[in-house]
Amino acid sequence: MATDKSSFQLVINGILNENPIFRLVLSMCPAVGISTTVMNGLMLGIAVLFVQVFSSVTIAIFKNVIHPRIRIPTYTLTIATWVTVIDMVLAAYLPEAYAKMGIFVKLIVAFAIITMRLEMFASKESVDASFWDGIGMGLGFMAGMVALGFVRELLGLGTLLGYDVLGFQPLLFFVLPFAGFFVVGLMMGFFNYIEVVYKRSKARQA
Amino acid sequence: MKEIFTIVFRLTVSCLLAGLVMGAGLMLTDKAKQRNEHAHEQQVMLSLLGYSKANPPPAELELHEIYRYVVEGADQLSVAYLLPVPEGFTFVNIGLDGNFLNQVPVALSEENVVKPADRGSAILAALGSGKSIRFVDQTIIVTRGASRMAYLLPGEFPGFKTFIKVILAVAPDFTVLGLEIMEHEEDPGLGGEIVKDYFKGQFEGKSFATLRTLDVTKRPIPDEYRRALESEKSDLGENEIGEIRRLYQDKDIYALTGATISSKAVTNGVKAIVKKFAYRISVLDRVLAEEEIDVSF
């Protein structure tokens, strides 16, 4: 089963139609736990993007030699390998970024979204398509995290990217872990509503 | 039954491949990582002494590294220090009872002394056969002109989960000048708070006498003290901060909320490092004075 989507459609698919956070509702632990500020969301997003792309491509290359009964351990092994390598490369060549991103990178081994993408997409599709799917999923995750971080940082701390914009802290509630569920839920509802409105207007035109 | 062998075989091959990739990654990045860590350490050391980019250290400030080894001879164990002297390096051997045994000059260059392997082989060559050495730790003696300004003590001790690595700066009278946490794996938000100014700053200014009996109290940290410790965030003037800090100088360490074990680990670790160092440096100084060894610090 090969996908008939173009590379551009695959990227857009990851960001909109199958957004990991708002549509697939995967990897909710980091989404709720870490998206307290825009910067945190962005850092984790970048880290996920790299791991997703590398792992997707690796699995797409080796998909024919992976025994179906041990595919999940193989995926985990692949992800862990890339996480370790990226961790080492960051520590060696980008020490300043590593100081901020280090703990996020190590967390990624257990992310559901990456394993799920390897199982659903990379293990069936070509290397090329898997690469673009990885980019789309990574960007979609990053976009979701930044959007969550934006709302929570602004409403919880009154700052954006660490800069004081409001001058006061409106509701500290929003940076606490459980508020992540509320923000994710409300934003998911909001995006679903936009989709409904969009489809209705399209149907009316037709 | 045949399938299980295929599965085992393929999993083994995948693990080997993954190991190869990670090993290659380590080989390519390890040197750069160590260089970064060394540069970071240097920067931390200078900032512990109160210097920064805006306030660069004076030219006459010198850092002298001394390395401590355990020497195993045919029938005895001894402690030895590799010390910088004007004409190079010397290896001073001190018995466990604190008496001078011998000293040998070691042929080492300034660049090679920081490399553990080169340093070890040079010392072994100087000692002759029949002895083995084990590196223990290193200390940095900071001098300005002819007088000692501070000691920098890198050290590690067990925390809540794994070892906590720190660098401690102490004055010549062993008053703590500063504490920096280099590496730790305490729980984020609980024990991980040991890196925050309002915790590690509490050690600043503790005198040797206070440190010997220092304990951890579970009472909450007073608000004014916390504000004085987080000086970057607070609106207090410099004089006020100094005054409040002096007020709490001889008090116990206020434990972190929900992380008493981590707080105690750091407190006891710092106490142990300073107490042991104070003893060692007194022995070393006495030996150097008795034997009239002319060292660079």
Q: What is the pLDDT of residues B39-51, one digit of tens each?
A: 888 888 888 888 8
Let me know if residue B172 belongs to a domain.
Answer: yes
Of B26, B40, B188, the CB nearest to A88: B26
Which chain B residue has its CA at the smallest distance from A87's CA?
B25
Residues with Cβ within 8 Å of B231's Cβ and at least 6 positions away in sequence, in order, are: B197, B241
Mutate to test the interface with B, among A29, A83, A85 (most CBs of B within 10 A): A85
Q: What is the mean pLDDT of residues A123-152?
A: 89
DSSP code, position A184: H
Domain count, chain A: 1
Let me know if residue B38 belongs to a domain.
Answer: no
The domain that holds B191 is classified in CATH as 3.30.390
Q: Does A70 touch chain B (CB under 8 A)?
A: yes
* Distance between B24 CA and the closest CA of chain A, angstroms: 9
Q: Does A81 touch chain B (CB under 8 A)?
A: yes
Q: What is the mean pLDDT of residues B138-163?
A: 90
Let me know if residue B263 belongs to a domain.
Answer: yes
Residue B111, domain extent: 61-139
Which chain A residue has its CA at the smallest distance from B23's CA?
A85
Same domain? For B112 and B154 the reply is: no
- The Cα B79–Cα B68 span in angstroms is 7
Question: Tens digit of pLDDT for each residue in B248-258?
Answer: 888 899 998 88
Give the DSSP H or E segment for A163: strand A163-164
Beta bridge mates, A105 = none
Same domain? For B98 and B163 the reply is: no
Let me know if residue B168 belongs to a domain.
Answer: yes
Let me know if residue A139 belongs to a domain.
Answer: yes
Let me know if residue B153 belongs to a domain.
Answer: yes
Let me know if residue B297 belongs to a domain.
Answer: no
Of A65, A77, A103, the CB nearest to B15: A77
Domain count, chain B: 2
Q: What pLDDT, on a 0 to 100 scale, did the predictor assign at position A1? A: 47
Which chain B residue has its CA at the smallest distance from A66's CA?
B10
- Percentage with pLDDT > 90 across chain B: 30
Let me know if residue A1 belongs to a domain.
Answer: no
Q: What pLDDT, on a 0 to 100 scale, did the predictor assign at position A2? A: 59
Put simply, the answer to whether B29 touches A84 (Cβ < 8 Å) is no
DSSP code, position A158: S
Q: How confident is the model at residue A53 (pLDDT cuts 50, 70, 90)?
A: very high
Q: How confident is the model at residue B57 (pLDDT cuts 50, 70, 90)?
A: confident
Considering chain A, what is the average pLDDT of its residues? Answer: 84
DSSP code, position A167: S
Let me know if residue B258 belongs to a domain.
Answer: yes
Let me know if residue A198 belongs to a domain.
Answer: yes
Q: How confident is the model at residue B20 (pLDDT cuts 50, 70, 90)?
A: very high
Residue A57, domain extent: 7-205
Question: Tens digit of pLDDT for each residue in B89-137?
Answer: 899 989 888 888 888 888 888 778 888 888 888 888 888 877 888 999 8
Question: Tens digit of pLDDT for each residue in B192-229?
Answer: 889 888 899 899 889 999 998 999 999 888 888 888 88
Residue A149 above 80 pLDDT? yes
Identify all chain B residues contacting A91, using CB atoms and an 8 Å cutoff.
29, 33, 36
* Distance between B205 CA and the closest CA of chain A, angstroms: 28
